[in-house]
């Protein structure tokens, strides 16, 4: 029997045991980027103007303005960076050597 065949049989045995309540299966949680980010709240909490925030973290001022006025939504990577800035601005500043 092939390795794939053995793995499939093992997986089916685990499913049967789980359905009988004999085994708890491991759950895998996949995190994704936040759907919405309140850019103005993050920026104001840090105490920076739009221009200062943009320059400090590498954004365009126009992008900050459009995000805050809800004319555009930040791209996925920007939303992730903004959440890091919200939770741990010092980490971003350290990486960007701003501290």
| 65 domain residue, yes or no | yes
Model pLDDT, residue 25: 79
In this model, does residue 81 exceed pLDDT 60?
A: yes
User: Looking at the domain assignment, is residue 61 inside a domain?
Assistant: yes
Q: How many domains does the chain have?
A: 2
* pLDDT single digits (tens) 10-45: 888 888 888 898 888 777 776 788 999 999 999 999
Same domain (yes/no): 53, 89: yes
What's the number of CA atoms in the CB half-sphere (13 Å) around residue 46?
Answer: 25
Share of the chain above pLDDT 90, in %: 59
The C-alpha atoms of residue 82 and residue 37 are separated, in whole angstroms, by: 7
Please report where in the chains the tokens 């685990």 appear, as a residue: 14
Q: Is the pLDDT of residue 73 over 80?
A: yes
Q: Which residues contact 98 (CB under 8 A, 6 or more apart)?
A: 56, 92
Q: Is the same domain home to 60 and 80? A: yes
pTM of the model: 0.67
């Amino acid at each position: 029997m092939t390795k794939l065949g053995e793995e499939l049989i093992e997986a089916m045995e685990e499913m049967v045991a789980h359905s009988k309540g004999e085994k708890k299966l491991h759950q895998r949680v996949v995190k994704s980027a936040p759907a919405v980010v309140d850019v103005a709240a993050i920026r104001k909490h840090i105490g920076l103007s739009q221009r200062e925030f943009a320059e400090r973290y590498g954004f365009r001022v126009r992008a900050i303005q459009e995000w805050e006025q809800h004319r555009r939504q930040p791209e996925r990577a920007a939303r992730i960076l903004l959440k890091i800035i919200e939770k741990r601005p010092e980490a971003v500043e350290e990486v960007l050597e701003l501290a």
